[in-house]
Amino acid sequence: MQWVKILSGKDEALKRIKPGTTQLLVVHEQRICLARIENEFFAIEDKCSHNGESLSKGKTNYVGEVVCPWHGYRFNLRTGRESGERSRDLETYPVKVDESGFYIGL
């Protein structure tokens, strides 16, 4: 696994990504949905496994899932599991923050 620095640190992440929202990242040609729940960040494959919509256009919910804006499938941000087991689970990526920056593991 390779850690890729995407932001200068947690302060920048907190400023750029509001609670309950998502943002698209393209890192090494991979589309990743970065999501924030309270002050915690999660990274998950961006392409919905149902029909390919971008999850970074969706929202998070109170149980820690990202909700696809097209047909409402829900994916657990920690495990990538689709809540209704109707489509394949998504890949998740570790996130780490230290004094040198904010990183995603690929």
Kindly list the residues in this chain that would bind ligand FES in the complex (CB under 6 A): 48, 50-53, 68, 70-73
CB of 93 to ligand FES, least distance (A): 19
φ, ψ for residue 47, nearest 5 deg: -85, 115
User: Residue 38 CB, nearest distance to ligand FES (Å)?
Assistant: 24
When the beta carbons of 41 and 73 are compared against ligand FES, the nearer one is 73
CB of 49 to ligand FES, least distance (A): 8
Q: Which is nearer to ligand FES, 82 or 102 (CB)?
A: 82
CA 46 to chain centre: 7
Instruction: Report the amino acid identity of residue 51.
Output: N
CB of 58 to ligand FES, least distance (A): 8
Q: Which two tokens stand for residue 32?
A: 């990743």
6 and 30 in contact (C-beta within 8 Å)?
no
CA gap 87, 84 in Å, rounded: 8
Q: How far apart are CA 47 and CA 19, in angstroms?
A: 21
Q: Choose between 53 and 89: whose C-beta lies nearer to ligand FES.
A: 53
Closer to ligand FES by Cβ: residue 27 or 53: 53
